[in-house]
Structure 1
Amino acid sequence: MGVEQTRWLTLDGVSFEAEAFSRVWLLALATYGVGDIVTTIGLVWFSPLHVEANPVIAGAIALFGGGGFLALKLLVFYLALGISLTALADEDRLVFYGPPLVLTVLGVAVTAHNIALVV
Protein backbone atom coordinates (compact mmCIF):
# COMPACT_ATOMS: atom_id res chain seq x y z
CA MET A 1 0.00 0.00 0.00
CA GLY A 2 1.50 3.26 -1.14
CA VAL A 3 1.01 6.61 0.44
CA GLU A 4 -1.19 8.75 -1.76
CA GLN A 5 0.24 12.17 -2.53
CA THR A 6 -2.03 15.15 -1.95
CA ARG A 7 -1.74 17.82 -4.62
CA TRP A 8 -2.58 21.28 -3.34
CA LEU A 9 -3.72 23.98 -5.70
CA THR A 10 -1.23 26.86 -5.49
CA LEU A 11 -0.23 29.85 -7.58
CA ASP A 12 3.35 28.55 -7.81
CA GLY A 13 4.52 28.26 -11.39
CA VAL A 14 1.75 30.32 -12.97
CA SER A 15 1.86 33.86 -14.25
CA PHE A 16 -0.79 35.11 -11.81
CA GLU A 17 0.26 37.05 -8.74
CA ALA A 18 -1.01 35.94 -5.35
CA GLU A 19 -1.29 39.57 -4.22
CA ALA A 20 -3.49 40.53 -7.19
CA PHE A 21 -5.61 37.43 -6.61
CA SER A 22 -6.09 38.42 -2.96
CA ARG A 23 -6.94 42.00 -3.84
CA VAL A 24 -9.68 41.21 -6.35
CA TRP A 25 -11.27 38.69 -4.00
CA LEU A 26 -11.06 41.11 -1.08
CA LEU A 27 -12.82 43.70 -3.22
CA ALA A 28 -15.53 41.17 -4.11
CA LEU A 29 -15.90 40.25 -0.45
CA ALA A 30 -16.20 43.90 0.58
CA THR A 31 -18.83 44.80 -2.01
CA TYR A 32 -20.88 41.69 -2.79
CA GLY A 33 -20.24 40.07 0.54
CA VAL A 34 -20.31 42.73 3.23
CA GLY A 35 -21.95 45.65 1.40
CA ASP A 36 -24.84 43.73 -0.09
CA ILE A 37 -25.39 41.51 2.95
CA VAL A 38 -25.47 44.39 5.43
CA THR A 39 -27.72 46.62 3.35
CA THR A 40 -30.07 43.74 2.45
CA ILE A 41 -30.37 42.69 6.10
CA GLY A 42 -31.05 46.30 7.03
CA LEU A 43 -33.82 46.58 4.46
CA VAL A 44 -35.47 43.17 4.70
CA TRP A 45 -35.33 42.63 8.45
CA PHE A 46 -35.60 46.18 9.80
CA SER A 47 -37.81 48.01 7.32
CA PRO A 48 -41.50 47.19 7.13
CA LEU A 49 -41.65 48.90 3.73
CA HIS A 50 -39.21 46.64 1.87
CA VAL A 51 -39.07 42.99 0.83
CA GLU A 52 -36.42 41.01 -1.03
CA ALA A 53 -36.93 41.40 -4.79
CA ASN A 54 -34.82 38.41 -5.91
CA PRO A 55 -37.20 35.40 -5.91
CA VAL A 56 -34.41 32.89 -5.20
CA ILE A 57 -33.14 34.82 -2.19
CA ALA A 58 -36.71 35.58 -1.05
CA GLY A 59 -37.46 31.85 -1.17
CA ALA A 60 -34.34 31.00 0.81
CA ILE A 61 -35.25 33.62 3.41
CA ALA A 62 -38.84 32.34 3.60
CA LEU A 63 -37.69 28.74 4.08
CA PHE A 64 -34.53 29.13 6.15
CA GLY A 65 -34.43 32.72 7.38
CA GLY A 66 -31.13 34.57 7.51
CA GLY A 67 -29.17 31.32 7.35
CA GLY A 68 -30.62 30.58 3.94
CA PHE A 69 -29.70 34.04 2.73
CA LEU A 70 -26.12 33.70 3.96
CA ALA A 71 -25.84 30.16 2.59
CA LEU A 72 -26.81 31.38 -0.89
CA LYS A 73 -24.23 34.16 -0.70
CA LEU A 74 -21.57 31.66 0.35
CA LEU A 75 -22.59 29.29 -2.45
CA VAL A 76 -22.18 32.08 -5.01
CA PHE A 77 -18.71 32.86 -3.63
CA TYR A 78 -17.65 29.20 -3.76
CA LEU A 79 -18.93 28.79 -7.31
CA ALA A 80 -17.15 31.95 -8.45
CA LEU A 81 -13.94 30.87 -6.72
CA GLY A 82 -14.17 27.44 -8.34
CA ILE A 83 -14.62 29.01 -11.78
CA SER A 84 -11.71 31.34 -11.12
CA LEU A 85 -9.39 28.52 -10.09
CA THR A 86 -10.16 26.48 -13.21
CA ALA A 87 -8.13 29.06 -15.10
CA LEU A 88 -4.88 28.06 -13.37
CA ALA A 89 -4.11 25.24 -15.79
CA ASP A 90 -4.75 27.33 -18.91
CA GLU A 91 -3.52 30.61 -17.40
CA ASP A 92 -6.62 32.33 -18.71
CA ARG A 93 -6.66 35.82 -17.18
CA LEU A 94 -10.30 36.51 -18.07
CA VAL A 95 -11.57 33.39 -16.32
CA PHE A 96 -9.14 33.89 -13.42
CA TYR A 97 -10.00 37.52 -12.64
CA GLY A 98 -13.49 37.65 -14.17
CA PRO A 99 -15.59 36.05 -11.40
CA PRO A 100 -14.38 38.30 -8.56
CA LEU A 101 -14.67 41.37 -10.79
CA VAL A 102 -18.24 40.42 -11.76
CA LEU A 103 -19.09 39.95 -8.07
CA THR A 104 -17.53 43.34 -7.31
CA VAL A 105 -19.54 45.15 -9.98
CA LEU A 106 -22.71 43.35 -8.91
CA GLY A 107 -21.96 44.12 -5.26
CA VAL A 108 -21.44 47.82 -5.93
CA ALA A 109 -24.66 48.03 -7.97
CA VAL A 110 -26.82 46.15 -5.46
CA THR A 111 -25.34 47.95 -2.46
CA ALA A 112 -25.89 51.33 -4.12
CA HIS A 113 -29.47 50.33 -4.99
CA ASN A 114 -30.13 49.23 -1.41
CA ILE A 115 -28.69 52.46 -0.03
CA ALA A 116 -30.84 54.45 -2.47
CA LEU A 117 -33.91 52.61 -1.14
CA VAL A 118 -33.03 53.65 2.40
CA VAL A 119 -32.55 57.29 1.46
Structure 2
Amino acid sequence: MSRSRDRRRRRPAYRRRPQEFYWLWIAATATYGVGDVVSTIAFLEYVPAIREANPVVAVALDSFGLGGLVLLKIAVYLVMLWISVAGARDGDALLYYFPPVLLTLVGTYLTASNVRLLWIA
Protein backbone atom coordinates (compact mmCIF):
# COMPACT_ATOMS: atom_id res chain seq x y z
CA MET A 1 0.00 0.00 0.00
CA SER A 2 1.39 3.37 -0.95
CA ARG A 3 1.92 6.14 1.55
CA SER A 4 -0.63 8.44 -0.13
CA ARG A 5 -3.29 5.73 0.07
CA ASP A 6 -2.51 5.21 3.73
CA ARG A 7 -2.97 8.94 4.34
CA ARG A 8 -6.41 8.89 2.73
CA ARG A 9 -7.62 6.12 5.00
CA ARG A 10 -6.60 7.89 8.20
CA ARG A 11 -8.89 10.49 9.62
CA PRO A 12 -7.48 14.03 9.61
CA ALA A 13 -5.61 15.12 12.73
CA TYR A 14 -8.32 17.61 13.65
CA ARG A 15 -10.80 14.71 13.80
CA ARG A 16 -8.49 12.31 15.65
CA ARG A 17 -7.37 14.93 18.19
CA PRO A 18 -10.02 17.67 18.20
CA GLN A 19 -8.95 19.12 21.56
CA GLU A 20 -5.43 19.67 20.25
CA PHE A 21 -6.76 21.37 17.14
CA TYR A 22 -9.05 23.65 19.15
CA TRP A 23 -6.35 24.64 21.64
CA LEU A 24 -3.85 25.41 18.89
CA TRP A 25 -6.35 27.76 17.28
CA ILE A 26 -7.56 29.22 20.57
CA ALA A 27 -3.96 30.24 21.30
CA ALA A 28 -3.63 31.75 17.82
CA THR A 29 -6.92 33.62 18.22
CA ALA A 30 -6.04 34.92 21.67
CA THR A 31 -2.63 36.25 20.68
CA TYR A 32 -2.88 37.16 17.00
CA GLY A 33 -6.57 37.94 16.83
CA VAL A 34 -7.42 39.49 20.18
CA GLY A 35 -4.10 40.49 21.77
CA ASP A 36 -2.59 42.20 18.76
CA VAL A 37 -5.81 43.88 17.63
CA VAL A 38 -6.66 45.22 21.10
CA SER A 39 -3.12 46.39 21.80
CA THR A 40 -2.87 48.01 18.34
CA ILE A 41 -6.16 49.84 18.84
CA ALA A 42 -5.07 50.97 22.33
CA PHE A 43 -1.74 52.10 20.95
CA LEU A 44 -3.32 54.05 18.09
CA GLU A 45 -5.89 55.67 20.40
CA TYR A 46 -3.62 56.59 23.30
CA VAL A 47 -0.47 57.51 21.36
CA PRO A 48 -1.77 59.26 18.23
CA ALA A 49 1.61 60.86 17.47
CA ILE A 50 3.06 57.46 16.52
CA ARG A 51 1.82 55.70 13.38
CA GLU A 52 1.53 52.01 12.51
CA ALA A 53 4.93 50.65 11.41
CA ASN A 54 3.66 47.79 9.22
CA PRO A 55 2.97 49.26 5.77
CA VAL A 56 0.23 46.75 4.90
CA VAL A 57 -1.58 47.40 8.17
CA ALA A 58 -1.04 51.15 7.75
CA VAL A 59 -2.73 51.08 4.32
CA ALA A 60 -5.64 49.05 5.74
CA LEU A 61 -6.02 51.51 8.61
CA ASP A 62 -5.75 54.58 6.38
CA SER A 63 -8.20 53.19 3.83
CA PHE A 64 -10.78 51.50 6.05
CA GLY A 65 -10.02 52.52 9.63
CA LEU A 66 -10.07 49.98 12.42
CA GLY A 67 -12.41 47.81 10.37
CA GLY A 68 -9.61 47.45 7.83
CA LEU A 69 -7.29 46.18 10.53
CA VAL A 70 -9.84 43.64 11.70
CA LEU A 71 -10.66 42.49 8.13
CA LEU A 72 -6.96 42.08 7.34
CA LYS A 73 -6.46 40.01 10.48
CA ILE A 74 -9.50 37.85 9.70
CA ALA A 75 -8.28 37.26 6.12
CA VAL A 76 -4.82 36.16 7.30
CA TYR A 77 -6.38 33.99 10.02
CA LEU A 78 -8.73 32.24 7.57
CA VAL A 79 -5.93 31.55 5.06
CA MET A 80 -3.80 30.05 7.81
CA LEU A 81 -6.73 27.98 9.09
CA TRP A 82 -7.33 26.68 5.57
CA ILE A 83 -3.64 25.70 5.25
CA SER A 84 -3.79 23.89 8.60
CA VAL A 85 -6.94 21.96 7.70
CA ALA A 86 -5.51 21.04 4.29
CA GLY A 87 -2.33 19.84 5.97
CA ALA A 88 -4.35 17.73 8.39
CA ARG A 89 -6.32 16.17 5.55
CA ASP A 90 -3.12 15.38 3.65
CA GLY A 91 -1.41 14.00 6.74
CA ASP A 92 1.25 16.73 6.59
CA ALA A 93 2.19 17.53 10.19
CA LEU A 94 4.16 20.64 9.22
CA LEU A 95 1.23 22.23 7.42
CA TYR A 96 -1.09 21.20 10.24
CA TYR A 97 0.95 22.67 13.11
CA PHE A 98 2.86 25.52 11.46
CA PRO A 99 -0.01 28.01 10.86
CA PRO A 100 -1.44 28.16 14.40
CA VAL A 101 2.01 28.06 15.99
CA LEU A 102 3.25 30.84 13.69
CA LEU A 103 0.20 33.01 14.41
CA THR A 104 0.61 32.41 18.15
CA LEU A 105 4.28 33.40 18.07
CA VAL A 106 3.69 36.43 15.84
CA GLY A 107 0.68 37.49 17.91
CA THR A 108 2.61 37.15 21.15
CA TYR A 109 5.51 39.19 19.79
CA LEU A 110 3.26 41.91 18.33
CA THR A 111 1.15 42.17 21.47
CA ALA A 112 4.23 42.38 23.69
CA SER A 113 5.77 44.97 21.37
CA ASN A 114 2.62 47.11 21.39
CA VAL A 115 2.29 46.87 25.17
CA ARG A 116 5.95 47.81 25.58
CA LEU A 117 5.51 50.84 23.31
CA LEU A 118 2.39 51.84 25.24
CA TRP A 119 4.30 51.51 28.48
CA ILE A 120 7.19 53.74 27.39
CA ALA A 121 5.07 56.31 25.55
Say yes or no: TM over 0.5.
Answer: yes
3-state SS of 1:52 partner: coil
Equivalent residue number for residue 70 of structure 1: 70
Distance 2:79 2:45 in 1: 27
CA apart distance, 1:90? 1.9
Distance 2:45 2:51 in 1: 9
Which has more helix, going by share of residues? 2
* TM, length-normalised to structure 2: 0.84
1:43 and 1:51 in contact (8 A); partners too: no
1:87 and 1:95 in contact (8 A); partners too: yes
CA apart distance, 1:14? 2.9
Distance 1:64 1:98 in 2: 30
Which of 11, 14, 18 is residue 12 of structure 2 equivalent to? Answer: 14
3-state SS of 1:86 partner: helix
Distance 2:89 2:107 in 1: 28
3-state SS of 1:51 partner: coil
Consecutive unaligned residues in structure 2, runs of 5 or more:
1-9
Q: Count residues with an aligned counterpart.
A: 108
Q: What is the RMSD of the two structures over their aligned residues, measured on CA atoms?
A: 1.4
**Runs of 4+ with deviation above 2 angstroms:** 12-16
Equivalent residue number for residue 96 of structure 2: 96
Equivalent residue number for residue 29 of structure 1: 29
Consecutive unaligned residues in structure 1, runs of 5 or more:
1-11
Output one character per residue of 1:60-82: Cα deviation in whole Å (capped at 9) or x when no partner.
11111111110000000001001
Letter in 2 for 1:13: R
Deviates more, 1:89-98 or 1:72-81: 89-98
Distance 1:114 1:88 in 2: 33
Equivalent residue number for residue 57 of structure 2: 57
Equivalent residue number for residue 118 of structure 1: 118
